Amino acid sequence: MNKVISTAMCAFVIKSCPAFAAAIVNTGPQNVQPGGISAYVGSDTGIGGIFTTNSLYRISSLEYFGGGSGDVTASIRRNGTTPGDIIYSQVFNLQLPPQGWIGVAGIDFILDAGTYWITFETPRINSGALLYGIGFQNPLANEQLRMPTSMGGNWVPSQNGGGGSNFGFRINGDLAAISPIPEPITWAMMLGGFALVGGAMRVRRRRVVMAI
């Protein structure tokens, strides 16, 4: 009987497992570049970088290092030689803030293990601009720029990617602790365990009454 009760309880304990905070992507602090270019400005453009996860994560924020004006779309895209189909996106608005880590927070998106792209873009019909810093300590393996619509609007390899003049990206989240829905046999064992406990308690009460 105890074994039945323990098995039934496990179905609920698994669901309550706590998540663990993690920095999924972090290109680190910006390197100092004396006399060099510290940022690019582009309207109707975008930046992207490739990353890989080995676990299931619940994404909470997407950020890039820079600034800008107008609407900016933060996205996670499928893998490819260039950023693929969008699987998550959110638009946020910038009003020329000081340069720093900027993006969207409060995301609740489950991302399977795999290889993806993180991108930040100004819409092609928007006159806004991205101001993005360069020169970070832990560059992503592959970084690309989206050209303006007037130049084809395609993603092209960045000459800065993987070197001393790379973009800054951060993705934060938690290791997702998601359990499968209990199978019917699990529910049956749980209900059977409760029934056995209830029956045992009734028998015990009867014995006590008879002793009196």
Give the domain range for residue 198.
Answer: 2-11+181-211
Residues 7 and 68 in one domain: no
The answer to whether residues 35 and 108 belong to one domain is yes
What is the reported pLDDT for 113? 95
Identify whether residues 79 and 165 lie together within a single domain.
yes
The average pLDDT across 15-33 equals 67
Q: Give me the chain's average pLDDT, please.
A: 75
Q: Is the pLDDT of residue 195 over 60?
A: yes
| Structural domains counted in the chain | 2
Which pLDDT tens digit goes with each residue over 11-21? 332 222 344 56
**Is the pTM for the entire model greater than 0.75?**
no
Are residues 105 and 73 located together in one domain of the fold? yes
Residue 187 and residue 171 share a domain: no
Q: What is the pLDDT of residues 70-110, one digit of tens each?
A: 889 999 999 999 999 999 999 998 876 667 889 999 999 99
Which CATH number fits the domain that encloses residue 100? Answer: 2.60.120
- Could you tell me which residues come within 8 angstroms of residue 206 by beta carbon, excluding any fewer than 6 positions away? none
Query: Do 169 and 193 belong to one domain?
Result: no
